[in-house]
Amino acid sequence: MDIERLIFLHHCEALSWNHMKSIMKVDPELIGIFTMDIRRLKMSFNLSELTAKRLYEHMNHQNSTYIMKDLKKNSIAAVTVFDLEYPPLLKMIYDPPWVLYGKGDWSTLNQDKMISVVGTRNPSRQGKLALNKVLEPLVKDNWVVISGLARGIDTFAHELCLQNDSKTVAVLGSGIMQVYPKENRALADKIGLQGIILSEFSPSTAPKRWHFPLRNRIISGLSNATLVAEARTKSGSLITADQALEQGRDVFAIPGSILEECARGTNYLIQNGAKLVMCAEDIQNERL
């Protein structure tokens, strides 16, 4: 199968993960699809009229050579699920991204000691202090921290790694050329030099609300364990924890005050079987 053709199709924003799965099942070499008109695309891959039309337009108005040159120009690597460089843990989840786009050191994704960190965008002072107590010894012990570059806990975790000259992975809910939130663009640049920025969305893709649950499965899927710092009962952090459990990974939670709204989610996780964490050794002793 031609990897360049897969990357080219992956740049069509109309195609979901399931669409790509259907296409790969019917046309695993990705040859026949390029000879089809809109009607045949619709019938062959069970696409809607609109999706088939957008795919046809993409195939007839875009150029795979231009896309590959543009990736190279911006120092962005594109690794498919069929490549040896693809992160082995991520390949084990139910719906691994067909293509990952990365800017930075790809070896960051294949370290022995890795932990995903998620939490609220509005952490309390106590929450930050508690996370620092747990996370800093891990960072100094060369653990790679994976997070989502969001405001709050994510930013705090990434910055802690950079301050300690440790590698970190930022998984985006947008394309690498459209870093969100905008105030973290400088942080993303630093991570690209000291770790890697990662996304399953083609580089120029703008952030959309539905991208972030998709991003979260990558955050949890890249490591054997997810640490939840502070989280509300209805939050992306709890979605990530659920995804980690579905992927067969460990979930750790730092307990918080029963008076704090932003600790209700983490305390709920502990009530429901997440491992309570009070220090770095609680994670290190698990031998992940």
What pLDDT sits at residue 259?
A: 81
Do β-strands 99-104 and 196-199 pair in parallel, antiparallel, or remain unpaired? antiparallel
Q: Where are the beta strands (DSSP E) in the chain?
A: 77-80, 99-104, 114-118, 144-147, 168-171, 196-199, 225-228, 250-253, 275-276
Distance CA 209, CA 3 (A): 29
Same domain, 217 and 136: yes
What pLDDT sits at residue 287?
A: 60
272: in domain = yes
Same domain, 68 and 118: no
28: in domain = yes
Phi (first) and psi of residue 64, to 5 degrees: -65, -35
99: in domain = no
Spans of the chain, pLDDT less than 70: 1, 287-288
Return the axis-axis angle of helices 185-194 and 153-163, rounded to nearest 10°.
40
CA dihedral for 83, 86, 88, 94, sign (positive or negative): negative
CA dihedral for 244, 120, 154, 252, sign (positive or negative): negative
Same domain, 170 and 259: yes
81: in domain = no
202: in domain = yes
87: in domain = no
Count other C-beta atoms under 10 Å from residue 271's C-beta.
9
**CATH number, residue 165:** 3.40.50.450
Domain's final residue, options 30, 50, 73: 73
Considering the entire predicted model, what is its pTM?
A: 0.94
Maximum Cα interatomic distance, the chain, rounded to a whole number of Å: 62
What pLDDT sits at residue 235?
A: 86
Domain residues for the domain of 163 are: 104-284
For 148, the token pair is 């989502």
Local structure of residue 206 (DSSP, 8 states): P
Phi (first) and psi of residue 6, to 5 degrees: -65, -45
Same domain, 38 and 128: no
What pLDDT sits at residue 288?
A: 57
- Give the distance, in angstroms, between the CA of residue 236 and the centroid of all CA atoms in the same chain: 13
What pLDDT sits at residue 39?
A: 97
Same domain, 241 and 125: yes
For 157, the token pair is 């975790």
Distance CA 181, CA 172 (A): 10
79: in domain = no
Same domain, 207 and 246: yes
Same domain, 137 and 263: yes
Same domain, 31 and 119: no
Domain's final residue, options 24, 52, 73: 73
121: in domain = yes
Domain's final residue, options 73, 93, 117: 73
Same domain, 14 and 121: no
Judged by DSSP in three states, 79 sits in strand
Count other C-beta atoms under 10 Å from residue 81's C-beta.
16
The residues, any chain, with a CB within 8 Å of residue 39's CB and separated by 6 or more, are: 52
Please check whether residue 226 is in contact with residue 200, taking contact to mean a CB–CB distance below 8 angstroms: no
Total domains in the fold of the chain: 2
Same domain, 9 and 149: no
Q: Where are the beta strands (DSSP E) in 42-152?
A: 77-80, 99-104, 114-118, 144-147
**CATH number, residue 24:** 1.10.150
What pLDDT sits at residue 62?
A: 82
207 preceded by cis ω (within 30°)? no
Ramachandran category for residue 30: left, alpha or beta (phi over 0 → left; psi -120 to 50 → alpha): left
Same domain, 220 and 142: yes
Same domain, 147 and 207: yes
Give the residue among 118, 115, 129, 116 at the shortest CA–CA distance from 256.
129
Residue with tokens 């890697």: 196
pLDDT digits (tens, 9 = 90+) for 80-139: 999 999 999 999 999 999 999 999 999 999 999 999 999 999 999 999 999 999 999 999
CA–CA–CA angle 47, 214, 252 (5° rounding): 150
